[in-house]
Amino acid sequence: MADILIFQSKILSHADQVAIALDDAGVSYYRKQKIGSIEMEMDDAPVEIQNASWLIYVPKTVADQAREIVKTFPFGDERNIYSSLKKPMSPEFLRTIMIIFLALVALVIFLVMINIQ
**47 and 99 belong to one structural domain:** no
Task: Examine residue 77 and state whether it is found in any structural domain, yes or no.
Answer: no
**Positions in the chain short of pLDDT 50:** 80-85
CB atoms within 10 A of CB 39: 14
Residue 85: per-residue pLDDT: 47
Q: Are 6 and 66 in contact (CB under 8 A)?
A: yes
Q: Are 67 and 6 in contact (CB under 8 A)?
A: yes
Residue 91: per-residue pLDDT: 80
pTM of the model: 0.61
| Length of the chain counted residue by residue | 117
Residue 93: per-residue pLDDT: 82
CB atoms within 10 A of CB 33: 19
Residue 84: per-residue pLDDT: 44
Mark 83-109 as b/e (b = at least 16 C-beta within 10 Å). Answer: eeeeeeeeeeeeeeeeeeeeeeeeeee
Q: Which domain holds residue 35?
A: 3-71
Residue 83: per-residue pLDDT: 45
**25 and 50 belong to one structural domain:** yes
